[in-house]
Amino acid sequence: MTPTRARAGANIALIKYWGKRGAGDLNLPATGSISITLNELETVTTVTPDTALSGDVFSLNGALIEDARVLRLVSRMRAAYPAMASYCRIESVNSFPTAAGLASSASGFAALVLALDAAFELQAPTDELARWARIGSGSAARSLLGGFCRMHRGQAQDGHDAIPEQLLDHTAWPLEVVVAITQTQAKGTSSRKGMTHTMATSPYYSAWVRHNEQVLDEAEKAIVSRDFDRLSELSEASALQMHASALAAEPAVLYWNGSSVECLHAIRELRQSGHGVFFTMDAGPQVKAVCLPGHGESVATRLQQVPGVQSVVSSALGPGGCRI
Tell me which residues touch ligand 2P0 (CB under 6 A): 13, 16-18, 27, 33, 103, 105-106, 137-139, 191-192, 282-283
Q: Look at residues 256, 211, 209, 206 and name the one whose alpha carbon lies nearest to residue 234.
A: 211
Q: Where are the alpha helices (DSSP H) in 138-257?
A: 191-201, 205-224, 228-247
- Distance in angstroms (rounded) separating the CA atoms of residues 252 and 250: 5
- Which is closer to ligand 2P0, CB of 86 or CB of 196? 196
**Minimum separation from the CB atom of position 301 to ligand 2P0 (A):** 27
Q: How far is the CB of 131 from ligand 2P0 (least distance, A)?
A: 13
Per DSSP, the three-state class of 64 is strand
Smallest distance, Å, CB 103 to ligand 2P0? 6
State in angstroms the smallest separation of the CB of 80 from ligand 2P0: 20
Q: Which is nearer to ligand 2P0, 49 or 285 (CB)?
A: 285
Q: CB 235 → ligand 2P0: shortest distance, Å?
A: 11
Q: Give the count of beta carbons closer than 10 Å to the beta carbon of residue 271.
A: 18
Contacts 24+ apart (CB under 8 A), 265-274: 266/302, 266/303, 266/306, 267/299, 267/303, 270/298, 270/299, 270/302, 271/232
Instruction: In angstroms, give the least distance from the CB of 192 to ligand 2P0.
Output: 4
Contact present, 166 and 143 (Cβ < 8 Å): no
* DSSP, res 144: G
Q: Phi and psi at residue 280, in whole multiples of 5°?
A: -150, 160
In the bound state with ligand 2P0, the residue whose beta carbon lies nearer, of 14 and 119, is 14
If the CB atoms of residues 88 and 106 are measured against ligand 2P0, the closer one turns out to be 106
Q: Considering beta carbons, is residue 47 or 133 the nearer one to ligand 2P0?
A: 133
The identity of residue 272, as a single letter, is Q
Query: Rounded to the nearest whole angstrom, what is the least distance from the CB of residue 104 to ligand 2P0 in the complex?
Result: 9
Give the number of other CB atoms < 10 A from CB of residue 233: 16
Closer to ligand 2P0 by CB, 38 or 103: give it.
Answer: 103
Coil, strand or helix at 299: helix
Minimum CB distance to ligand 2P0, residue 300 (Å): 22
**Rg value, the chain, Cα:** 19
Q: Which is nearer to ligand 2P0, 106 or 292 (CB)?
A: 106
State the minimum distance, in angstroms, from the CB of residue 105 to ligand 2P0. Answer: 4
In the bound state with ligand 2P0, the residue whose beta carbon lies nearer, of 106 and 130, is: 106
The residue of the chain with the least Cβ separation from ligand 2P0 equals 138
- Per residue, what are the HEC states of 247-270? HCCCCCCCCCCHHHHHHHHHHHHH
Is the distance from CB of 304 to CB of 120 less than 8 angstroms? Answer: no
Shorter beta-carbon distance to ligand 2P0: residue 138 or 296: 138
CB neighbours of residue 68 within 10 Å: 8
